[in-house]
Structure 1
Amino acid sequence: MLEITPGLKSLLKDCNQKLKAKYQNQANLDKEQLRGLISQEIGRFVTVTKMGDTEIKEWLAGQDVVGVDGSINTLGKNYPHYITLLQALAKSTDRKKEGVIKHEAFSPLIDEDRDKILKKIYKDNLAREDEEAVVYPQEAAGKIKSSLLAALEILVAKESILKWNPKLIMMDGSLIRYQMQAEEEWRGLVELALKKNVFLVGVIEEIGTNDLSKNLADDLPAKMIEMYDRELLFGLLEMEEMIKLEKVDSFKEKTLTSAFLRTTRDPGVIGLDILKEQQEELDLVAALVQSLTPASGRGIPIWLDIVDDEVRITDKMMELLIDNYLDPRLKQKLFHAKSLDRIY
């Protein structure tokens, strides 16, 4: 059995004390004070009324809801000796319709992908304001993989509109990710969605923004200024309650309307993004998201969980693909990690 050393125990106890000191009292700004400050400076708290089955059917009027998600897995660890497989899926709530799926492979050892890395390095270095800052190949390759996955998800979303003309597309994560990582493809999807009157919604499970503290910096106690939205909002909302962000100054505010919503008994919240052009329907979209999310779940609509499960490239799947379709000698020569050969 693995023995936990006294040094590791002591280190974690020290981290625990530091985190407790930072978060325990939240600098004496209680729940009602924080809610009042957010209401005054950020946006409105509203109750989200769940839609019944009949109401959902009437709103959809025979159209579908589509979930979109992507997955990525890599064989090999160190640059450039790895190969990455990417996959994206758009799946309709009408189970009779076969999902739209697209794939991509990326490896710095493949000439075309190496050329993409070199072009990315050149482009990003030109854009750097600090003349001494340099974009390294590993960094460029990471950005390319993120862009490839975002583009794949956009492509399956676009194809789902052309094939099924759904009422609403739920995309996993913030919509700003697609706008920033695959700008050209994103513009095409937005144009098509607006033309076909399809709602695009980003459902954000892991919130990593700090928009609230940045916008409330002049009014928050010093200990709270650096807190992230996830921390400030933990336990602040009641179940089926939403904050509509109406006065937040952020990059995405120019093209998107956002909200935080507590959908389950868990005290954490999720984020919602919707196109600025569709913001009048935010309440209705939030009600649908709430209606499709189990009260005991992890906060996101169950349909996105289903899509996530189906699109995921598991380690086992990756292993089977590599063993069946990659020359064993190439696998050993290019991608095998020496750490796997340790003798214990």
Structure 2
Amino acid sequence: MERLNENLKTEFSIAASALRKRLKERPDRENLRDLIEKSGLGRFKRSRRMTNDELKSLSEKGGIVGVDGSTNSTAGSFPYVITVQQSLAKSTAVQEEIYYSRVLCPLFMQEDMDEAEYLELTKSSLASLEAMAAIEAVEKLKPAVILVDGSLVRLKIEAKSLWGDLKKAAIDKGILLVGVVEGITTKIISAALKESLPEAMKGACDWELLFGALDVGEGLEVVPTGLKEGFRTVFMRTSLDPKPIGIDLLEEQYEYMEQVENLVFTLTPQDGRGIPLWLDLVDKKVKISDALLEGLLKAYLGEDFSEFLTPKRAKRSP
């Protein structure tokens, strides 16, 4: 056992050294900004807080709708799994809330599927629920702006049967459709600067490179490429948190990009994690917690059968 512990320490030390090396080789702030500007990848922009009159005008035009979704699955072994999902569209100006929900279970699918296929299904299902909530919000709530939690590209890919309807409805009604991305996974900057970056940073995510490289209220608007074609994207620091967020906007609505940046910046608490407060409120309201899921299991499946879905690891002593 002692030897195992020593091996663990050695391997952990190696992993930590690799992480430290990668962090040390990150370009410094000024060097990175210089590389980006010279490459033609994008331009740095500064946003401002909107005035009370501007916010009032926005409210009079229909306000803001936040759209988010939540998914949670029981802990049983596949295929003894039940997945509960819901989406919510909530307005700052109208009391009515729009919910869509779905329950999935591999045992009751029309076609047999393995675990990987089921995971893909749950992803596309949740995206579809969010798209459905956004489409109904366009028709019923008639906001000035819809803030979607996550990238618009994700909806285009994972809810492709509904994406065209959502995009058309937003453009036809003159409603700004905005994606707000907390967990940036794109590698646009490292792809564009691959010849200029240290070896350890080639393939780095955009958030890694931009961490601490932007001032509060500053963004980097990047040239549309690859999956981002048809969209305009800005990486932005909206609070004291040095990790940037992403903002997606339809190419057709690009003329409103500055207004969108100002709005997102205004709605985000300075001491927060960088996400507009309204989206955080929607997230908390739509979230399907473990406690809620456990309550549903016991209420509708019964103690005996809910026990059947509980894995042995959940019964380990602390």
What is the TM-score when the length of structure 2 is the normalising length? 0.93
Q: CA offsets, 1:45-65, max 9 Å, x none? A: 011111122112224433110
| 1:228-243 equivalence runs, <5 A | 228-243=205-220
| 1:72-111 equivalence runs, <5 A | 72-94=71-93, 97-110=95-108
Instruction: Tell me, in whole angstroms, the C-alpha distance in 1 between the residues paired with 2:317 and 2:255.
Output: 62
Q: Which region of structure 1 is more displaced relative to structure 2, 59-68 or 48-57? A: 59-68
Q: Secondary structure at the match of 2:298?
A: helix
Instruction: Tell me, in whole angstroms, the C-alpha distance in 2 between the residues paired with 1:144 and 1:25.
Output: 39
Q: Secondary structure at the match of 1:109?
A: helix
Q: Secondary structure at the match of 1:139?
A: helix
Q: CA offsets, 1:286-342, max 9 Å, x none? A: 100000000000001000100000000001111111111224444344x23233344
Instruction: Tell me, in whole angstroms, the C-alpha distance in 2 between the residues paired with 1:274 and 1:193.
Output: 11
Instruction: Tell me, in whole angstroms, the C-alpha distance in 2 between the residues paired with 1:342 and 1:210.
Output: 40
Q: Secondary structure at the match of 1:336?
A: coil
Q: Structure 2 stretches of 5 or more lacking a match?
A: none
Paired residue total: 314
Corresponding position of 2:149: 172
Instruction: Tell me, in whole angstroms, the C-alpha distance in 1 between the residues paired with 2:278 and 2:60.
Output: 19
Instruction: Tell me, in whole angstroms, the C-alpha distance in 2 between the residues paired with 1:311 and 1:337.
Output: 27
Residue 10 of structure 1, CA deviation:
4.3
Instruction: Tell me, in whole angstroms, the C-alpha distance in 2 between the residues paired with 1:342 and 1:225.
Output: 42
Q: Secondary structure at the match of 1:55?
A: helix
Corresponding position of 1:187: 164
**Residue identity opposite 1:273 in structure 2:** D
Q: CA offsets, 1:11-46, max 9 Å, x none? A: 4333222211121132xx432221022123211101
Q: Is structure 2 residue 9 aligned with structure 1 residue 17? A: no
Q: Is structure 2 residue 122 aligned with structure 1 residue 148? A: no
Residue 67 to residue 23, structure 1, CA distance change in 2 (3 Å): same
| 1:44-123 equivalence runs, <5 A | 44-94=43-93, 97-110=95-108, 113-115=109-111, 118=113
Q: Which region of structure 1 is more displaced relative to structure 2, 275-284 or 34-43? A: 34-43
Q: CA RMSD in A?
A: 1.9
| 1:153-302 equivalence runs, <5 A | 153-246=130-223, 248-253=224-229, 255-302=230-277
Instruction: Tell me, in whole angstroms, the C-alpha distance in 1 between the residues paired with 2:165 and 2:281.
Output: 26
Residue 341 to residue 46, structure 1, CA distance change in 2 (3 Å): closer
Residue 280 of structure 1, CA deviation:
1.1
Q: CA offsets, 1:141-179, max 9 Å, x none? A: 111100110000011111111111100110111111111
Q: Is the 8 A contact 2:70 2:286 kept in 1?
A: yes
Q: Is the 8 A contact 2:25 2:198 kept in 1?
A: no
Instruction: Tell me, in whole angstroms, the C-alpha distance in 2 between the residues paired with 1:175 and 1:150.
Output: 10
Instruction: Tell me, in whole angstroms, the C-alpha distance in 1 between the residues paired with 2:261 and 2:53.
Output: 17
Q: Is the 8 A contact 1:173 1:204 kept in 2?
A: yes
Identity of aligned residues (%): 36
Q: Secondary structure at the match of 2:156?
A: helix
Residue 33 to residue 339, structure 1, CA distance change in 2 (3 Å): closer
What is the TM-score when the length of structure 1 is the normalising length? 0.86
Residue 56 to residue 331, structure 1, CA distance change in 2 (3 Å): same
**Residue identity opposite 2:23 in structure 1:** Y
**Residue identity opposite 2:22 in structure 1:** K
Residue 285 of structure 1, CA deviation:
0.3
Residue 187 of structure 1, CA deviation:
0.9
Residue 222 to residue 341, structure 1, CA distance change in 2 (3 Å): closer
Residue 250 of structure 1, CA deviation:
2.0
Q: Structure 1 stretches of 5 or more lacking a match?
A: 119-136
Instruction: Tell me, in whole angstroms, the C-alpha distance in 1 between the residues paired with 2:282 and 2:9.
Output: 39
Corresponding position of 1:133: none
Residue 99 of structure 1, CA deviation:
1.2
Residue 86 to residue 208, structure 1, CA distance change in 2 (3 Å): same
Residue 186 of structure 1, CA deviation:
1.1
Instruction: Tell me, in whole angstroms, the C-alpha distance in 2 between the residues paired with 1:105 and 1:170.
Output: 25
Corresponding position of 1:325: 300
Instruction: Tell me, in whole angstroms, the C-alpha distance in 1 between the residues paired with 2:131 and 2:120.
Output: 17
Instruction: Tell me, in whole angstroms, the C-alpha distance in 1 between the residues paired with 2:140 and 2:100.
Output: 15
Instruction: Tell me, in whole angstroms, the C-alpha distance in 2 between the residues paired with 1:114 and 1:78.
Output: 20
Residue 232 of structure 1, CA deviation:
0.5
Corresponding position of 1:33: 31
